[in-house]
Chain A
Amino acid sequence: MKKSVVVAAMATALLGSTSAFAADLEVTHWWTSAGEAAAVAEFARVFEEETGNTWVDSALAGSGTGANPVIISRILGGNPMGATQMNTGRDAEELIQAGLMRDLTDIAEEMNIRDFYVDESLLEPCTYEGRIYCFPVNIHSWDWLWLSTAAYEEIGQPVPTTWDEYVASWPALEEAGILPFGLASGWPIAGVPGVLMAGIGGSDLVLEINRDKSVEAVRSPEFREVAEALDDIRSVVSPETMVPSFGDVGNQLLQGEAAGNIHGDWLQGDLQVAGGTPGEDYECLPGLGMNDQLTGGGDSFFFPVLPDGTDPEVIEAQTELAKLLISPEAQLAFNLKKGSMPIRTDIDLEAANPCMQKALVLLDNGLLPSGDFALSSDTQQQMQDLNIEFLDDDSISVDEYIDRYASIIESAD
């Protein structure tokens, strides 16, 4: 890799003067919401207690769309941090190929990580030419339907247990002036089709489309049902009723202003911070109550290659942090706060709430590759553009949606 040599040389030239204090390790991440910040503080606490090093916290605003570019530019620009969180998936693919990420294979072998990882497919995006370059630290899934108990009390119906029951309740909800489907503007809609695909279309459809990039699968009757479900959602949401952020949808659910929402499990952190109790204030249906497998991705930690002349203690601190992040103690403390599922099988999760317990059962059936996980950032962006446009523009028919979805999958790499 000629390029890597050039970039590494640039990095060295630019960063000759970086060895500040012995074992200060700068860690970048975008865990800034209330629940997330509490979770990452657990990592920092365990790291400092166990190793005596200092965790220099660099939280970046803007989540995946805002923070990810900053992290990538810093690494490309020769100003790498000690460690960074990124989504488990293909965002860092080219950084790994260019040799900008530290090879963690030795640590992985020393710890025998394949013995305790819940699902080995999680390690696929971290693996390049047989070497391992990142450690997934949790599993997140989009596949959740959140339902408001208060809203269903008001219309005097039981809280639905499947997607179909939920759709059937929409007319009654609208009559009572309750928003059937709460939605935040912007990216949150991007995750919804994948959830519908796993719930309504089934596991095979997800594998054929996300993993095999099969155009025939997109044109199949199963996918048409998925597109029609998205069309149903389109009929009950409008720009006037959208709220600015997904946390606001959580509040709408707790207050019974909106009856349901499809959003990832990280919404639960916000629901809990807002004082909601699962089973009482809200219900959760993993896989829309229809599939017994979840699509998943999550977060991984990467350790950029530090420039020559870096204090060996900092590199040692990288090693220590890498080991620690996937240790049982840190995994338990972190994931309970984060609302995500741990990557280890050997952790006792009695303290987990009912929603997480449901997810852990489904996790035993293996994890399906979500779009975030299996598609490149370019393909994801095109999907997001398509979904946002479809949702707003009623003139795009279901057929046209399928055509355009198919052409994106066709050109996906």
Chain B
Amino acid sequence: MTQATSSDEVRYQDEGKARRSLGRVLTHNLSAKIAATPMVVTVLVVFIGCTLWTIWYSFTDSRLLPTGDFVGFEQYERLFNTSRWNRSVSNLIWYGAFSLVLTLSLGFLLAVLLDQKVRFESAFRTIMLYPFALSFIVTGLVWQWIMNPTLGLQGTLRNMGWESFTFDWIAQSDMVIYALLIAGLWQGTGFVMVLMLAGLRSIDDDIWKAARVDGIPAWRTYLFIVLPMMRGVFVTAVVLVGAGIVRLYDLVVALTNGGPGIASEVPAKYVYDYMFTAGNIGQALAASTMMLVTVMIIIVPWAYLEFGGRSKKS
């Protein structure tokens, strides 16, 4: 439909014709346009509108109500001088890097293992996917008990006679982030595995036959032939896992509540605490704007690479 307004045609159009073609653009496939309107409005108002609102108020000194005056970068200065925020950011980077790499690699590995035509495959699949059915709050509470030094695994094994057994990551400032990681992986890996398994199953059997004829070992086929063919599945998995990492909040609240000290604080928790408990909207919105900027820094180059080259392909 865009051809109607492309430069070649526009040159020969008189005014009336232009108006007619505009009408055609609007009425062409009308029912689809009407159906899409609610979503377009939602995107414009809720996503873009609220994002702009958020960014604007992060430059004000608003407290409980969004009524403050413009103060420039004051909220951001305070934000980056706050050790809790800086710790939150570095925690998220560590957690994010480990979580992304381990979820994807473990998920793929498990999918490959399940792909070996094992018996009771659906039973295994159910078991692996089951943690995903639990919310982060439940996951956090369960692991809080398991990892609690006096009540959980450590206490149990010590009571059974293994006196030297130590597993107290949850109480160690420098290890608690890995305790979070264990719970996060337990919850999220099964889902990635199922995605990957679906990807593996969509690979044409002929590829496998050809690889076998050429005498390529199975592991090389997986790594160098099947894996590149599953690019779409990988992108989906990365986006889903990545979104989960940035909004990491409920797991931390349930598992450690940011402790010990501020050792497991995350940005989303900082935003929540300053928004609702401290009643400082300006500070909270500055923090959430920084979260948005971080996501943009990752998404924009990727989107450029992914969609910028689209015209060549099609």
Contacts and interface: CB of A to CB of B under 8 A. Distances in A.
B192 to A, nearest CB: 32
A388 B257 contact: no
Interface string A95-111: 10010000000000000
Nearest to A65: B277
A393 B261 contact: yes
B266 to A, nearest CB: 14
Contact of A3 (B65, B168, B263, B278): B65
Interface in A371-407: 376-378, 380-382, 385, 388-389, 391-393
Nearest to A189: B261
A6 to B, nearest CB: 11
Interface stretch (A68-76, A144-152, A209-217, A352-360): A68-76
A49 interface: no
Contact of A393 (B149, B173, B257): B173
A378 B283 contact: yes
A65 B272 CA distance: 11
Specify the main secondary structure of chain A where it touches its partner: helix
A239 interface: yes
A392 B63 contact: no
B262 A388 contact: yes
A94 B257 CA distance: 28
A280 interface: no
Contacts of A377: 277-280
A201 B63 CA distance: 31
A94 B173 contact: no
Nearest to A97: B65
Interface in B142-156: 149-150
A91 interface: yes
Nearest to B273: A381
Contacts of B171: 238-240
Contacts of B84: 385, 389
A186 interface: yes
Contact of A388 (B82, B149, B259, B277): B259
A185 interface: yes
B132 interface: no
A381 B277 contact: yes
Given A94-B279, A239-B171, A186 B259 contact: yes
Contact of B65 (A76, A185, A389): A76
B274 interface: yes
Interface in A85-124: 91, 93-95, 98
Nearest to B85: A385
A60 to B, nearest CB: 13
B87 to A, nearest CB: 8
A100 B72 CA distance: 29
B260 A378 contact: no
Interface residues of A, number: 32
Given A239-B260, A388-B259, A376 B63 contact: yes
B64 A392 contact: no
A72 B63 CA distance: 13
Interface in B41-92: 63-65, 67, 78, 82-84
Given A389-B84, A392-B173, A381 B274 contact: yes
Contacts, number: 80
Contacts of A392: 173, 259-263
Nearest to B278: A381
Contacts of A411: 78
Nearest to A73: B276
B262 to A, nearest CB: 5
Interface in B264-288: 273-274, 276-280, 283
Contact of A385 (B150, B168, B262): B262
A376 B313 CA distance: 58
Interface string A225-241: 00000000000001110
A240 B168 contact: yes
A393 B264 CA distance: 13
A349 B114 CA distance: 73
A10 to B, nearest CB: 13
Nearest to A76: B65
A342 B65 CA distance: 33
B151 to A, nearest CB: 10
A98 to B, nearest CB: 6
A63 B276 CA distance: 13
A163 B259 CA distance: 28
A240 B149 CA distance: 7
A378 B280 contact: yes
Contacts of A391: 261
A257 B277 CA distance: 33
A316 B74 CA distance: 46
Interface string B168-210: 1001110000000000000000000000000000000000000
Contacts of B258: 388
Contacts of A73: 276
Nearest to B280: A378
Contacts of A239: 171-173, 259-261
Contacts of A76: 65
Contact of A72 (B149, B168, B260, B279): B279
A240 B63 CA distance: 37
A391 to B, nearest CB: 7
Candidate in B64, B173, B258 with the most chain A CB atoms within 10 angstroms: B64
A243 B278 CA distance: 25
Interface string B80-110: 0011100000000000000000000000000
A165 B224 CA distance: 72
- In order of increasing CB-CB distance, the 10 nearest A-B pairs are A392-B261, A381-B278, A69-B276, A239-B260, A94-B64, A239-B171, A378-B280, A378-B278, A377-B279, A389-B262
Interface of A: 3, 64-65, 68-69, 72-73, 76, 91, 93-95, 98, 185-186, 238-240, 242, 376-378, 380-382, 385, 388-389, 391-393, 411
Given A240-B150, A378-B274, 17 more contacts: A72-B276, A72-B279, A73-B276, A98-B65, A239-B171, A240-B149, A240-B171, A376-B279, A378-B279, A378-B283, A381-B274, A381-B278, A388-B259, A392-B259, A392-B262, A393-B261, A411-B78
